[in-house]
Amino acid sequence: MNRTISEQLFASALKSIPGGVNSPVRAFRGVGGQPFFVEKAAGSHLTDVDGNDYIDYVCTWGPAIHGHAFSPIIKAVQNTAENGTSFGIPNRLEVRMAELVKEAVPSIGKIRFCNSGTEATMSAIRLARGFTGRNKIIKFDGCYHGHADSLLVKAGSGALTFGHPDSAGVPASFTQHTLVAPFNDPQALRELFAANKNDIAGIIVEPVPGNAGLYLPESGYLEFLRTVCSEEGALLIFDEVMTGFRLARGGAQELFGIRPDISCFGKIIGGGLPVGAFGGRNEIMDKLAPLGPVYQAGTLSGNPLAMAAGIAALENLTPEVYKTLEVLGASLESGMKTAAARYNIPVQFNRIGSMFCGYFIDRSVKNLGEAMGSDRIKFAKYFHLMLEQGIYFAPSQFEAGFISTAHTEQDIEKTIEAANNSFAKL
C-alpha cells in the first residue's frame, strides 16, 4: 500500500504535535511504523488520505456502534448546528438524553453529562468520596479509567501496597488513596478491605475489562464485588464508558444483572462527539453541586451537538442491533479460531458480543498478568500483515476490537481470509 501523503502529514504533525498525535496509542508505538491519516469514513470502512480502504475494527475506539457517518447522527448534528453550537444554559436535548439513558439503565436515578470518559470517572470518584466521607478507592490492574491523576495507577508489587503512579507528573501523594487489586481475585479484594476498614469509598471497575485487550469476569465475580461493597459501606462504580450500550442496551450491568451505585459512560453515548456521563441513585447524585457539596462543572457539558448525536445513537439501538452484533461477533470468532488452528498459531480469542481480542498466547487470559504473557512481537507482525490487506485492528495487543452494525458478513469473510493469509506467514 502506498501511504505517501500519510507519511508527509505525519512528518509535519511531528513538528507541531507531541509524537504527532493527540492521544498516544494512535502513534502505533505498540506495533511499530506510522499511523495513516483518515480522509473519510463510512459504515465499516475508513479511507485514508492516499485513497487506501480499510475495514475498521477500531470504530473510533468504541463509539461507532452504528458504523461511521451514520446518517441519523449526521442529520441530527447538522440540524442542531443550524441553531447554534453551545449555549451555556439548559437546552431541551439534555433532558431527552438523560431520560434515554435512565430508561436503558435502571440503576440510574439522575445523570450528569460531561465531555469525556476521563471526566466521568474522575467526577464519579470525587462523588463517591464526598458521599461516603471516605478517601480510599480500589481499582484493578489493567483497568483504564481515563487519565485523571488518582486513576493513573496500576498494580505495584503486591495488592496490599499503595499504588504507584503510572505517569510522570503525578505525585505519589496524589495516588496514595488509590489501592490496586488483581481482577478476578476475590481473596485479594477481601484483604484490601480488611486492611482498610471503614476507609474505602468505593470500587471502580470495568465490568468487562477492555483496556488490556479483553477478558471476562469469572462467574460470580461481579456479584461478589456487589456484595462486598454493600457489606463494607463502599460504593460500586461501574465504568461502562466502553461497555455501556455496547454489550446490551443497559450495558454490562444489564447483561450480568448487577446494580452498581454509580455508572460512568462515554464513547457510544456521544455518537462520535465528545461526551461523558455519570449517574446513579438520587441520594448519591444529589450530593453534586448545586444541590450538594461535591463540586463538578463544565462549560461545554450538555453541549447541544453532542446531545443530538447521542440521542440519535441511542434511539437507534434496538434489540435487533444486539442480535446482529452477536451474529457477526460469533462469525468472526469461529473464523479466527479455525484459521489460527489451521496454521497452528497459539491464539486465545476472547469475545463478548461485539467486543473481542485475540491474544497471541496458548493459555486462557482472565487478568492483566496473564495478558502480559502474550507474544507482542507476533501481534505486531500480524497487525501489519492485516493492515496491508486492508484490515485495521487496534495498533496494540492490549486493546479490544469492535464490530458495528455497519459491518457485513462479507466484511467478516474478508477479514478471516486476510487472517488466514497472515497466519500462514507468521
Ligand X SMILES: *Cc1c(COP(=O)(O)O)cnc(C)c1O
Does 206 help bind ligand X (rule: CB under 6 A)? yes
Answer whether the bond into residue 186 is a cis peptide, omega within 30°: no
Q: Please, what's the b/e burial string for 106-135 (b: 16 or more CB within 10 A of its CB; e: otherwise)?
A: ebbebbbbbbbbbbbbbbbbbbbbbbbebe
DSSP 68: B
Cβ proximity to ligand X: between 399 and 411 the closer is 399
Closest residue to ligand X, based on beta-carbon distance: 117
Nearest distance in Å: CB 117, ligand X: 2
Cβ proximity to ligand X: between 144 and 392 the closer is 144
Contacting residue, 68, 134, 136, 145, with ligand X by CB under 6 A: 145
Does 397 help bind ligand X (rule: CB under 6 A)? no
Cβ proximity to ligand X: between 276 and 329 the closer is 276
Considering 136, 139, 267, 366, which one is annotated as catalytic? 267
C-beta separation of 9 from 37 below 8 A: yes
Active site residue 75: no
Does 302 help bind ligand X (rule: CB under 6 A)? no
Nearest distance in Å: CB 122, ligand X: 9
C-beta separation of 175 from 207 below 8 A: no
Does 144 help bind ligand X (rule: CB under 6 A)? yes
Does 263 help bind ligand X (rule: CB under 6 A)? no
Cα angle 52, 56, 58 (rounded to 5 degrees) comes to: 130
Does 399 help bind ligand X (rule: CB under 6 A)? no
Cβ proximity to ligand X: between 196 and 211 the closer is 211
Cα 405 from Cα 44, distance rounded (Å)? 8
C-beta separation of 136 from 175 below 8 A: no
- Piece of the chain touching ligand X by CB under 6 A; list 106-114, 239-247, 361-369, 385-393: 239-247
Q: Which helix (H) or strand (E) holds 40?
A: strand 38-42
Nearest distance in Å: CB 209, ligand X: 8
Does 183 help bind ligand X (rule: CB under 6 A)? no
Cβ proximity to ligand X: between 278 and 383 the closer is 278
Does 241 help bind ligand X (rule: CB under 6 A)? yes
C-beta separation of 58 from 402 below 8 A: yes
Nearest distance in Å: CB 291, ligand X: 25
Considering 54, 57, 144, 392, which one is annotated as catalytic? 144
Does 354 help bind ligand X (rule: CB under 6 A)? no
The 39-78 site mask, x for binding ligand X (CB under 6 A), equals ----------------------------------------
Does 142 help bind ligand X (rule: CB under 6 A)? no
243 CA to centre of own chain: 7
Contacting residue, 124, 242, 394, 412, with ligand X by CB under 6 A: 242
Nearest distance in Å: CB 198, ligand X: 28
Q: Please, what's the b/e burial string for 7-31 (b: 16 or more CB within 10 A of its CB; e: otherwise)?
A: eebbeebeeeeeebbeeebebbebb
- Piece of the chain touching ligand X by CB under 6 A; list 9-17, 74-82, 234-242, 307-315: 234-242
Q: Could you tell me how many residues of this chain bind ligand X (CB under 6 A)? A: 14
Q: Compute and round to an integer the Cα radius of gyration of the chain.
A: 21
Active site residue 239: yes
Nearest distance in Å: CB 87, ligand X: 23
CA neighbor of 112 nearest in space, from 342, 347, 337, 269: 269
C-beta separation of 144 from 211 below 8 A: yes
Q: Please, what's the b/e burial string for 154-179 (b: 16 or more CB within 10 A of its CB; e: otherwise)?
A: bbeeebeeebbbeeeebeeeebebbb
Residue 400's alpha-carbon distances to 154, 212, 394, in angstroms, are 18, 8, 7
C-beta separation of 177 from 135 below 8 A: yes
Cα 236 from Cα 223, distance rounded (Å)? 11
Active site residue 362: no
Considering 239, 261, 375, 411, which one is annotated as catalytic? 239
Nearest distance in Å: CB 139, ligand X: 11
The 91-130 site mask, x for binding ligand X (CB under 6 A), equals -------------------------xxx--x---------
Catalytic positions: 144, 239, 267
Contact residues toward ligand X (CB under 6 A) are: 116-118, 121, 144-146, 206, 211, 239, 241-242, 266, 276
